Structure formats: structure tokens, C-alpha cells
């Protein structure tokens, strides 16, 4: 296994072991490659898989992971109070603010994170930074309704992003369509020293549904280390 995957797995296992307890009944499941290991660990711990836990997905991908794992699937409209949500991230700064949405799932992820008493991030060492924008060079993912994207792009330029890019699909001619039927614009703002301010400004643009900046939401981050020895935890 690559050291990166190994690191993801270590972070995910530790986060499951320390945050999903016998008290946890409703559990939010994030999206992405690291979350695959979260489900793997939940399944290994048969007591979690078999008992009456309900798992609330954040995407088509995590819904499938829950179904294929034979876990109890719930929806956010049935379970709007979640005990703990565990999710990946594209970058996390030292204040535990994060960029998310590399897989275009950040709208539902934010809903399921906000619904949780405790929001926990799992990531490999390459995601750790001191200031957002240091590591994730693709820009802040912004979910936009299709009708408005041509207007949102110049507005993002006025906010300081030189070259906002409509995210294009890799195996289809045309744009990436989110699970909500929207488009994704990636907007590189360089180093983001004031993520809350930037989030507020982008969110005010008409047509923007959600921004992949998770500010003051994360309780804990588990980073899997490169050397394979330990894990590094950051707590708030």
C-alpha cells in the first residue's frame, strides 16, 4: 500500500475507534477516498455494523458505501440530529478550518457536518497546512446553479480570484454535475488568511449554493503520518 493510502487508513481507523462509541446512534458519513477506510473500520468493528446505528450519507458515493457495507441507511430529513460525522478534507489549516469539495460533495457534506454534535476530519499528512491555499492548489470549490455560473465567474474575479475555472468532467464532454444537479467553479484565491471573510463574501453572490470553506466547524482532525509510525491529532 502507498504511504498516502496507509496514512489515510491510519487516520480513519483511529477516528472511528475514538469517536464512534456505544453511545453513537446516528453517524454522518463523508465522501472521498479516505472515508472508504472509515467504512472499512466500521465494518471490522462488527458491533457497530450490527447494532442499531443509522448512517447518514453525504453523497451518492457514501450512500453506496453504506448500502454495500450492509449498514443501516438513513437520510438527513429523517435524522437531522447526528451524533458524530466523520469526513475527509482537501486541506486543513492550524485552526482546523478546511477546504473541501475536491469530489464536488461539499454542499451535502456541510449540511451533514452542521447537523452533527461533533464533526471530525480524517486526512493524510499531505493535507496539513498552516494557511489554507498552501497545499490545495485547485482553488476553493464553489457549487453554483447552472443558470448563474456565467455571472458568478466575473464576480469571483472581482473578489480577487484571477482565474475561476468551471470544473470539467474527465470522462464526459462537459462540466462536472454535483449530486444536486449544480456546477462547480474552482476559484484560486492564493493563501487564504481570512477564510471566514472570504466564505461570507462568496456566499453572498447570487447563484452560489455553497462554498467549500469549512470555517469553525471542525472539532478534531486526525492526520495519518508519513513515517507509518504514529498519528497526529489536532483538537479544538
Q: Which is nearer to ligand R5P, 25 or 209 (CB)?
A: 209
Pairwise CA distance, residues 37 & 11, whole Å: 9
Q: Which of 68, 94, 109, 114 is catalytic?
A: 109
Q: How far is the CB of 85 from ligand R5P (least distance, A)?
A: 11
Residue 143 is a catalytic residue: no
Q: How far is the CB of 59 from ligand R5P (least distance, A)?
A: 7
Using CB positions, name the residue nearest to ligand R5P: 32
Pairwise CA distance, residues 218 & 13, whole Å: 18
Q: Which is nearer to ligand R5P, 83 or 210 (CB)?
A: 210
User: b/e string for 199-222 if b means 16 or more Cβ within 10 A?
Assistant: bebbeebebbbbbbbbbebbbbbb
Q: Which is nearer to ligand R5P, 33 or 72 (CB)?
A: 33
Tell me the HSE value of 4 on the side-chain side, using a 13 A CA sphere.
Answer: 5
Quote the crossing angle between the two packed helices 35-44 and 3-19, to the nearest 10°: 50
Q: How far is the CB of 106 from ligand R5P (least distance, A)?
A: 5
Give the binding site for ligand R5P (CB under 6 A): 30-34, 87-90, 100-106, 109
Task: Determine the Cα angle at 173 with ends 155 and 181, to 5°.
Answer: 55
Residues forming the active site: 109
Amino acid at each position: 500500500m502507498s504511504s498516502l493510502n496507509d496514512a489515510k487508513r491510519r487516520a480513519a481507523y483511529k477516528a472511528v475507534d475514538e469517536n464512534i462509541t456505544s453511545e453513537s446512534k446516528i453517524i454522518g458519513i463523508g465522501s472521498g477516498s479516505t472515508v472508504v477506510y472509515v467504512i472499512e473500520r466500521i465494518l471490522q468493528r462488527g458491533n457497530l455494523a450490527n447494532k442499531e446505528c443509522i448512517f447518514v450519507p453525504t453523497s451518492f458515493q457514501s450512500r453506496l458505501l453504506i448500502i454495500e457495507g450492509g449498514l443501516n441507511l438513513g437520510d438527513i430529513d429523517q435524522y437531522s440530529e447526528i451524533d458524530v460525522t466523520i469526513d475527509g478534507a482537501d486541506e486543513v489549516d492550524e485552526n482546523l478550518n478546511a477546504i473541501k469539495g475536491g469530489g464536488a460533495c461539499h454542499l451535502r457534506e456541510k449540511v451533514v457536518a452542521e447537523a452533527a454534535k461533533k464533526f471530525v476530519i480524517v486526512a493524510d499528512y499531505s493535507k496539513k497546512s498552516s494557511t489554507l491555499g498552501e497545499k490545495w492548489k485547485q482553488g476553493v470549490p464553489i457549487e453554483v446553479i447552472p443558470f448563474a455560473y456565467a455571472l458568478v465567474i466575473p464576480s469571483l474575479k472581482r473578489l480577487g480570484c484571477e482565474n475561476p475555472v468551471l470544473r470539467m468532467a474527465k470522462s464526459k464532454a462537459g462540466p462536472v454535475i454535483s449530486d444536486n444537479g449544480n456546477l462547480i467553479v474552482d476559484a484560486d484565491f492564493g493563501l487564504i488568511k481570512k477564510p471566514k471573510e472570504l466564505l461570507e463574501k462568496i456566499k453572498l453572490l447570487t447563484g452560489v449554493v455553497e462554498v467549500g470553506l469549512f470555517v469553525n466547524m471542525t472539532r478534531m482532525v486526525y492526520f495519518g503520518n508519513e513515517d507509518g509510525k504514529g498519528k497526529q491529532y489536532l483538537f479544538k
